Structure 1
Amino acid sequence: MTSAAPDVRAVISHLYVYPVKSCAGVAVQQAILTETGLEFDRAWMVVDSKGEFLTQRELPRMALVQPQLRQYDMVLRAPGMLALHVALDEVEEPVRVRVWDDEVEAFDMGAIAAQWFTDFLGTPCRLVRFDPDHPRVSSPEWTGDIKALNQFSDGFSLLVTSEASLNQLNGKLMAAGHPPVGMERFRPNVVLGDAAGYAPMNPHDEDRLDAFRITTEQGEALLKPVKPCPRCPIPNIDPVTAISSPEVGDMLQSYRQDARVGGAVTFGMNAIRLHEDDHLLRVGQAVGANYTFA
């Protein structure tokens, strides 16, 4: 029996990994989809002297920290700073840190990394790495019976957006006399684009779709959107200059208030992995999904 054609056909147009929470992302052509999301995504985090997580909300200059993932290390660069090299397979002492309401086990990455971030951000802070031996579980209020894991993300392992959604926003911004913005402001992991030969996606189709079925070399990867992503002021921050201005947030406020999350402004869908095995996601892979009206 042949399954029916999906309502929406798309392709993965971009993949992004954010090795250090709230620092710049890395555009990649492929990434391993693990049980906690894309490999190395939010594996590191910057904390203050009390172990509380830090983000662009308090420190917009974090947007200027540019990671580069290499075979054996991660290289961090920032304006006016020498490069910081962080080994992928080394950690220092165990610590407990807090991300939102969760206290989690982690590893301090040492004095050199701490001084680098302290010097650049202008406040005492340290770099920590997630301890995979102590899983962090996403909220069952949204995942139901599925035990979905993540590392230092805000709550879910993946964020999915679409080019159609960004194009709609940019059309509204330009009509109001503002310049367009890039997708990096919204910090997605998976961006969906139109598939050649099929109907284009509608803006925010990702809000209305059931599981995304991605054709990979290992078979079919299944990503289930579970919660609209409420937006804080971070999309207002220019990732090139770290300067914040309100145009993006104000425009989203005019048309993206979402009753599913108490009227908060949303853009993109938090998603979780439904299958057990790891898959290699690549830019250009086919994606199919059906509309849901639940």
Structure 2
Amino acid sequence: MGEASARVKTIFVYPIKSCRGISVAQAPVSPTGFRWDRQWMVVNANGRMITQRVEPKLALIELELPHEAFSESWEPSSDSCMVVRAPGMDMLKVPLSKPCDMVEHVSVWNWNGSALDEGARAAEWFSNYLGKTSRMVRFDAASQTRLTDPDYANGYKTMFSDQFPFMLISQGSLDALNKILKEPVPINRFRPNILVEGCGPFSEDLWKEIKIDDLTFYGVKLCSRCKIPTINQETGIAGSEPTETLKGFRSDRILLPNRKPQGQVYVGQHLVCKESFTKDKGKVIQVGDTVCIVQQLSSTADAAA
């Protein structure tokens, strides 16, 4: 089983890419990550993803799903919906039943495919909020497949997340960073799916195989950080921290001395779940679950990044 080294402190699901996350007591594991995670996305007139990197205002969009949506085998009814709120905007309700219309040429990084279109009302809401032509689309797992990078995790799938289905950070890592920063930052700057506690700072760098409850996760890649951690998630205003501070002790030059530096900083570890290949229901992670380390690296220099 391995050594019990941590426990799950918080679980976050981000239904719309780059909008606020939802903290939940439990989350079912699906073939593409936690259920509902990055299932929706806002796109521009060309079908290209819109994220906080270009539109920091997305940080202010709050989402609400039915509480029971995170039960193991819950299915939406005809009146189930996701509620979307933002400053200065009327509330938007998005039905959880799948829409019929499709949008072609939707793209996330180097992936291109079709997606379900959430309709004119949602398109008008996001267009008005962002001040430019936008649409809200939903990943259609029935007709589309978005595979993870085979160099790191061959055969696994995700929806509209940047790279991989799960991302984990430890509270110890956040605490260590905040001891150095002049102004501490909350965990929402880093947008993890799983926040664990009870382990040392950045110990998650070394985790190659862990078990959470009876589910097996593989650490496949250190998480390189983009602009988003510098965006205050309460105001949508970007600064220089915590990235400037992270450059001093979490850069690729320091963590990966045997490789050519690319100017990256790293916080957190991307994961895939072994059991996402199986179709039996009942796979769920809960706050309080024990995290057991089955296999770990001897040093960060050996980590994939």
Normalised TM-score (structure 2): 0.87
1:135-154 matches, within 5 Å, as: 135-143=145-153, 146-154=154-162
CA-CA distance at 1:51 after TM superposition: 0.2
- Identity percentage of aligned residues: 37
How far apart in 2 are the matches of 1:149 and 1:104? Answer: 14
How far apart in 2 are the matches of 1:113 and 1:17? Answer: 21
Verify: 1:159 aligned to 2:159, yes or no.
Answer: no
Name the SS for the 1:168 alignment partner. Answer: helix
How far apart in 2 are the matches of 1:206 and 1:104? Answer: 33
Q: Is the 8 A contact 2:122 2:136 kept in 1?
A: yes
> 1:55 — aligned with what?
51
Name the SS for the 2:265 alignment partner. Answer: strand
- Out of 76, 80, 99, the position equivalent to 2:108 is 99
- Out of 277, 296, 304, the position equivalent to 1:291 is 296
> 1:197 — aligned with what?
none
> 2:219 — aligned with what?
225
Name the SS for the 1:142 alignment partner. Answer: coil
1:74-223 matches, within 5 Å, as: 74-96=82-104, 97-133=106-142, 134-143=144-153, 146-173=154-181, 178-194=182-198, 201-215=199-213, 220-223=214-217
> 2:37 — aligned with what?
41
AA of the residue aligned to 2:150 = P
1:5-44 matches, within 5 Å, as: 5-6=2-3, 9-44=5-40
Q: Is the 8 A contact 2:43 2:136 kept in 1?
A: yes
Name the SS for the 1:169 alignment partner. Answer: helix
Structure 1, unpaired ranges of 5+: 195-200
What's the Cα RMSD here? 1.4
Deviations 1:224-257 (A, max 9, x none): 1101111111001111000111021101111111
> 2:267 — aligned with what?
267
AA of the residue aligned to 1:139 = D
AA of the residue aligned to 2:192 = P
Structure 2, unpaired ranges of 5+: 70-79
How far apart in 1 are the matches of 2:146 and 2:28? Answer: 19
Tell which deviates more after alignment, 86-95 or 229-238. 86-95
- Out of 248, 251, 255, the position equivalent to 2:242 is 248
AA of the residue aligned to 2:273 = R
CA-CA distance at 1:263 after TM superposition: 4.7
Tell which deviates more after alignment, 84-93 or 50-59. 84-93
AA of the residue aligned to 2:90 = L
Q: Is the 8 A contact 1:213 1:223 kept in 2?
A: yes
Q: Is the 8 A contact 2:209 2:296 kept in 1?
A: no
AA of the residue aligned to 1:42 = R
Q: Is the 8 A contact 2:53 2:227 kept in 1?
A: yes
> 2:73 — aligned with what?
none
> 1:198 — aligned with what?
none
Q: Is the 8 A contact 1:92 1:110 kept in 2?
A: no
User: How many residues were matched structurally?
Assistant: 274
Deviations 1:73-95 (A, max 9, x none): 10000001111000111314112
Name the SS for the 1:120 alignment partner. Answer: helix
CA-CA distance at 1:104 after TM superposition: 2.1
AA of the residue aligned to 1:269 = Q
AA of the residue aligned to 1:138 = T
AA of the residue aligned to 2:204 = E
How far apart in 1 are the matches of 2:121 and 2:12? Answer: 27
AA of the residue aligned to 2:86 = A
